[in-house]
Amino acid sequence: MQYETVIGLEVHVELATQSKLFCGCPNRFGAPPNSLVCPICLGLPGSLPKINQRAVELHVLAALALDCQVPALSKFDRKNYFYPDMPKNFQTSQYDQPLAAHGALVISELGQPERVINITRIHLEEDTGKSVHFRRIQGQLVADRLASSELSLVDYNRAGVPLMEIVSEPEIRTPDEASAYLQHLREILVWLGISDCRMEEGSMRCDANISIRPVGQLELGTKTEIKNMNSFKSVRDALDYEIHRQVRVVSEGGRITQETRGWDEARKVTISMRSKEEAHDYRYFPEPDLPPLEISEPWLQAVRQNLVELPRARSQRYLQGGLSPYDAGLMVQSRALSDFFEQCLALGSEAKEVSNWLANEVARLSQEKGIPLLESRLTAAGLSGLLEQVGQSKVNRAGARQVLEKLYSEGGQAADWIAQLGLAQMGGGDELETLVRQAVEANPVAVAEFRSGKEKALNQVVGQVMKLTKGRANAAEVMRILKEVLGD
Ligand SMILES: [Zn+2]
């Protein structure tokens, strides 16, 4: 029996706001435990939430980037459950009227045709706090992942951080597609400054619903939900494991139990966490402390203004502009690099030339000096100016590299550095011809060898001219004059 896999992803993304969703506490990762809390995010009696407009803006921007509809009216609901990392014993979330729905994400894996994965909904909610568990090993407390550990501590810094939950339709078919979906999603959200999407810090988290069914069957099989995947790789590994587990169970005549399973990164297996019978009844009801959220058309249009061209569209434009797929991909690796590249194009530089310099010489300098491009003194005008000088043969390649180094560490304009460093390339005038004649006289043997048919012998003469000009001449130009002088 052949089976196909059906995967739906629920992705939680923390929004990159300055403060939390309903209070003024900073939204920051890595602060000392319980240092970023107040009566509102701790849910103390009498405190009242107030919506963070910036969070709504970032959420709506994400919704527009993912082709979602943003309804004029949405509302918040209380999702009730009791868990130590939730100070209020309910989570303010959205239930039946989310802030965005009916979107889509186009994914492409290398060598595969593009696929559209539909997005069911994106709702806005507050994040929970975080429990940290410890176990005593040889008298020492050691961090552990299991809630059954000896000691559990709670950090509420994360409680109330704005969180977006992006729910896909069950249209993903393979672990590779799931990974591509997450990567495309992250690319867009980071590009637009909506989130830093760091899975290792928990600002992007993913749960997966997965089931199998015989090929050709329309009805969905019983699904399991997998949690605790902390990297793109663990998402792929966990899905791979779970597909094989389900196929094995069904092939042996067993039945899949609807349950939540956790991914055990160390053992590379999914383990049962709780079954459907234990599933929560969240008893959703409308949040009485927050009015419904009204999105006006002019406000929506204002947010739409921030929807800049996305990386996929940009790289396609670069492809049409003559870049190779590899180079086009490189130039959209980050928004900052891509914007720098765009500025150079706007100054009239040639795309292929700019991308070569950025991908090679500039990347090398950035690595050597340990200073990223954007923190260097090099500006788009600086690089474009340098390329212009190279294009007009005012400096040769070796000289241009020296100038770039100066532009990178000290800034300024290429033409000034060329003059200051004495790198101006010698033109083809009398000066160069005089030096060529000198070199010919000084190298009678090489000239004789050339005349007897040994073309390569001239390289020695060219080398001498380059030495006399301290490398400022254009080697091809020297060769041209040399052949002229020798009457070839
Ligand atoms: Zn607070």
DSSP 285-339: EE-TTSPPEE--HHHHHHHHTT-PPPHHHHHHHHHHTT--HHHHHHHTSSHHHHH
Distance 36 CA to ligand 1 centre (A): 7
Whether residue 362 sits in one domain with residue 442: no
Q: How far away, in angstroms, is 457 Cα from ligand 1 center? A: 79
Residue 85 CA to ligand 1 center (angstroms) comes to 15
Number of domains in the chain: 3
Strands (E), 199-255: 204-214, 224-229
Q: How far is the CA of 25 from the centre of ligand 1 (A)?
A: 4
In this prediction, residue 484 carries a pLDDT of 83
Domain boundary (302, 317, 349) is at 302
Residue 455 Cα to ligand 1 midpoint, Å, equals 80
> What average pLDDT does the segment 425-449 reach?
81
What residues make up the domain containing 334?
309-420
Please check whether residue 425 lies inside any domain of the structure. Answer: no
Separation of CA 22 and ligand 1 centre (Å): 7
Q: Residue 361: helix, strand or coil by DSSP?
A: helix
For residue 138, is it within any domain? yes
Of the given ranges (84-93, 138-147, 230-239), which has the lowest mean pLDDT?
138-147
Same domain, yes or no: 98 and 234:
yes
* Arithmetic mean of pLDDT, 364-390: 93
Q: Work out the pLDDT band at 488, boundaries 50, 70, 90.
A: low
If asked whether residues 298 and 321 sit together in one domain, one would say: no
CB 329 within 8 A of CB 315: yes
Q: Let me know: does 222 contact 233? Beta carbons within 8 Å.
A: no
Instruction: State the chain's maximal CA–CA distance in angstroms.
Output: 101
Residue 478: band (very low, low, confident or very high) from pLDDT cuts 50, 70, 90: confident
At 83-123, the pLDDT tens digits run 889 999 999 999 999 999 999 999 987 677 889 999 999 99
* Residue that the structure tokens 């249209």 belong to: 171
Instruction: Report strand pairing: 130-137 vs 151-155.
Output: antiparallel
Same domain, 217 and 197: yes
Q: Tell me: do 408 and 469 sit in the same domain.
A: no
65 C-alpha to ligand 1 centroid (Å): 29
Asked if residue 320 is part of any domain, the answer here is yes
Cα–ligand 1 centroid distance for 125 (angstroms): 15
Question: Count of CB atoms within 10 A of residue 254's CB?
Answer: 10
The pLDDT, as a whole number, for residue 464 is 85
Mean per-residue pLDDT, 55-82: 96
Q: pTM for the complete prediction?
A: 0.83
pLDDT of residue 346: 95
Q: Are residues 217 and 140 part of one domain?
A: yes
Neighbours of ion ligand 1 (CB under 5 A): 23, 25, 38, 40-41
Task: Please state the rounded mean pLDDT for residues 35-49.
Answer: 96
Is residue 320 located within the same domain as residue 177?
no
Locate 225 and state its tokens: 């939900």
* Ligand 1 mean position, distance from CA 39 (Å): 6
Residue 38 CA to ligand 1 center (angstroms) comes to: 4
**What average pLDDT does range 74-84 have in this prediction?**
93
Whether the predicted pLDDT of 315 surpasses 70: yes
Within 13 Å and on the Cβ side, how many CA atoms surround 57? Answer: 17
| Band of residue 428 on the pLDDT scale cut at 50, 70, 90 | low
Ligand 1: centre distance to CA 294 (Å): 24
Nearest Cα residue to 62 out of 195, 182, 176, 159:
195
Strand pairing report for 293-294 and 73-74? antiparallel
Round the average pLDDT of the chain to a whole number and report it: 91
Higher-confidence position of 94 and 325: 94
- The token pair that represents 201 in the structure block: 């810090």
Q: With bands split at pLDDT 50, 70 and 90, how would you rate the model's confidence at 457?
A: confident
Q: What is the pLDDT of residue 421?
A: 84
Tens-place pLDDT, residues 186-230 = 999 999 999 999 998 999 999 999 999 999 999 999 999 999 898
Q: How far is the CA of 43 from the centre of ligand 1 (A)?
A: 9
